[in-house]
A and B are shown apart, each in its own frame.
Chain A
Amino acid sequence: DAGITQSPRHKVTETGTPVTLRCHQTENHRYMYWYRQDPGHGLRLIHYSYGVKDTDKGEVSDGYSVSRSKTEDFLLTLESATSSQTSVYFCAISLGGQGDSPLHFGNGTRLTVT
């Protein structure tokens, strides 16, 4: 257990509604990440954060925003959910650094947009 809690674990929502997923860590790690996983695409990075209020885009950031107001929480928001955002979302944390710091993942949030 890497001290990561994702909430909710499952959510069903309707197209056009806003949705916020939460990632909470107890490890005080600097870096936090949001990935999505879809059949045929593997894991793809949405956004990541390298500190409080410091965030950057990943490869599939369109339609998503993030916020990190404190070290332990990283929020992923879908402003207006679409069916293409139906996916499993994983949060990850790491200490950071140039390449010698593993990422540790949460158990995911399964989001269905109807």
Chain B
Amino acid sequence: DAKTTQPTSMDCAEGRAANLPCNHSTISGNEYVYWYRQIHSQGPQYIIHGLKNNETNEMASLIITEDRKSSTLILPHATLRDTAVYYCIVRPYGNNRLAFGKGNQVVVIP
């Protein structure tokens, strides 16, 4: 069963920040939040992950609420190439596998 809830789809304006929400209200204290995206016909691409602190890398920022029940992936300046299905995943403790849900189809509009 999926442990995360994401919108089925959303549109974002090119050049603007894209804020992708994810709910994970049953997350355990030692579970990480991972974000991946999949551009059509390609393999999933790792974006970022975090435990409880906010994280930033060259691709995106990850904001995790203090209670860890939700998070937001921020693409600072969305481009057309960011159009993809975005997956928010909670990684079970002691488990080296990732369980993917259906994801959020994000379309960046010119």
In angstroms, Cα B91 to Cα A45, docked, is 14
Nearest 9 CB-CB pairs, A to B? A105-B43, A43-B100, A102-B46, A99-B32, A42-B100, A105-B44, A99-B91, A107-B43, A90-B43
Minimum distance in angstroms from A14 CB to a CB of chain B: 24
Given contacts A31-B96, A99-B51, A102-B34, 11 further A-B contacts (CB under 8 A): A33-B97, A35-B100, A58-B97, A90-B44, A94-B96, A99-B31, A100-B49, A101-B96, A105-B46, A107-B42, A108-B42
Report chain B residues within 8 Å CB of A94: 96
The contact size tier of chain A is: 20 to 34
What number of B residues sit within 8 Å (CB to CB) of A?
25
Interface presence of A22 (CB below 8 A)? no
Q: Mark A21-38, 1 if CB is under 8 A from B, else 0.
A: 000000000010101000
* CB neighbors of B among A33-57 (8 A): 33, 35, 42-45, 48, 50
Minimum distance in angstroms from B88 CB to a CB of chain A: 12
